[in-house]
Chain A
Amino acid sequence: DIVMTQSPDSLGVSLGERATINCKSSQSVLYSSNNKNYLAWYQQKPGQPPKLLIYWASTRASGVPDRFSGSGSGTDFTLTIRSLQAEDVAVYYCQHYYGPPPITFGPGTKVDIK
């Protein structure tokens, strides 16, 4: 199984500042035949289900503000929140969907206001 790790575990960021979350997979999730990274990011606020933010490592889902961006390839990925807003306080998860099951998630990164 592909193991997903995230860093840091938690992050305190001032309003308007940048938040950066890292995600690493235990093996590459880049599919060479289509050059796509099978990596997604989700945001989960307390008491709510997760919400898809980014798929194919860098494509924003519909309706997601452009302050959210994803980057990386292969085994190393980053979610950046360009200018943190109060409503961005949440736990963020990366997830791979490469190859045969199981699909696995990272352990999550909690983002708070500093």
Chain B
Amino acid sequence: QVQLVQSGAAVKKPGASVKVSCKASGYSFTSHYMHWVRQAPGQGLEWLGVINPRGGSPTYAQKFQGRITMTMDTSTSTVYMEVSSLRPEDTAVYYCTRDPISYSTSGCFDPWGQGTLVTVSS
């Protein structure tokens, strides 16, 4: 079955960077766009951006332009998201999630990774 397995929790100091990984299995990695969504503690869902595993530039939410970088490694079916210049308000669970439509993007998300808690604290 389709699975997205993310890297473990991280604790970072303000100003540092964090890189979260998401390893996909159970489907053709290059046939589905991958999105990233975050959820601050007790809060709602916030879309961060999307990457096309067949190549091309990722698309980022304007709010995060310049601070987020999405990359991929097709040899290991893994996507990565790096957030730089971390602030306490970046403390959140970060999810990778697949677009269920092959070779295109619908913009809805299924399934989701288990989430990675990133804590930013001095």
Contact = CB atoms under 8 A, between A and B. Distances in A.
A105 B108 contact: no
Contacts, number: 61
Contacts of B46: 105
Contacts of A106: 44
A20 to B, nearest CB: 20
Contact of B45 (A38, A50, A61, A97): A50
Interface residues of B, number: 24
A101 B59 contact: yes
Interface of A is mostly: loop
Interface of A: 38, 40, 42, 49-52, 55, 61, 93, 95, 97-98, 101-108
Contacts of A97: 106-108
Interface of B: 35, 44-47, 49-50, 59, 61-63, 95, 97, 100, 106-115
5 contacts: A49-B97, A51-B110, A61-B110, A101-B50, A105-B47
